[in-house]
Amino acid sequence: MYPIKVVLVDDDQDSLKILQDFMKEIPYVQVVGLGSNGEELIDEVMMKKPDLIITDIRMPKKNGLQAIKDSVSIYPNLKFIFISAFDDYAVEAFEVAAIDYLVKPVEKVRFLQALEKAKNRIECERALVEDDTAMPTMDILSIKDSTSIRFIPQEDIFFIEKIGKKCLVHTKRGLYETNQTLGNLMPRLNSDFFQGHRSYIINLRKISRISPHHETYIVSFQGYDREANISKLKISEVKEKISIVYEG
C-alpha cells in the first residue's frame, strides 16, 4: 500500500505538535507538510498534492473551511478532517463532505478513528482507479461531482452536454452531472467521440439519425429520447469521422 500523504495545519503550535506525535505511531501515513493558517494550507496543497488535510478552522489570514473549499476547487479528490475548539462549524464542515469533525482537546482514540475513516475512503478510490487501469478492453471515463468520483463505461455514453458551468453525461444507465468542462473531458474519451458543437460531445457509434434544423443539425440516438446538436460548420467532419469509426 502506498503511504497516505498528509498535511497538518493549525495556528496553535502545541496542537500541531500533538497531532505530529499522534502521526508518528501510524505506519501508513507520511506527513509531507505543515501550516499555521489558511493561506499556508493552500500553498501546501499546491506544492505537495497531499491525499489528506487535517486542519483547524479558526486561523489567521484565511479560515480552514474557506481554505479547504479553495483547495478542493483545484483538487476535487482531496480529503480532509477538521479539528476545532468550537462545534459551531460542524454542519458546514459536513456540507463540504469532510471525513470527520473533531473538537479539541482531541483524544487519541477519536483521532485514530477519524484517520481510519480517511484511510478507508482513500484506499477505496485508489482501488477503483487501479481496477480502471487493469481493464484495457473497456474504456472508462471518470467524472467528478461535488462529493465523489463515478466511473462510467464509455460505450454506455450517448453524449455529453454543456449546461451553464456544468456538464451532463447522458448514458443508458442514467444522467450524471459534473463540474468538469468539455475541454477537460474530451481528451479522455476514445476515438468514438467527437465534439461537433461547442456544447456537445457525441458518441458517433450511438447515432441513429442526423437531421438539418435551421443553422444546425439535430442528432438522434439509438434507444435514447434526448437529442444533441451538431454545428453546421462541423457536419462534413462528423460524416468523415462516422465512416472512419465504422470502417474500424
pLDDT, position 247: 61
Across the chain, mean pLDDT equals 87
Q: What is the pLDDT of residues 122-141, one digit of tens each?
A: 887 777 655 544 444 458 88
pLDDT: which is higher, 88 or 43: 43
Say whether pTM exceeds 0.75.
no
Q: Are 142 and 151 in contact (CB under 8 A)?
A: yes
Sign, CA torsion 187/193/195/201:
negative
User: Which residues, 6 or more positions from 49, have their beta carbon under 8 angstroms from its beta carbon?
Assistant: 5, 75
**Segments in 136-204 forming alpha helices (H):** 182-185
pLDDT: which is higher, 97 or 221: 221
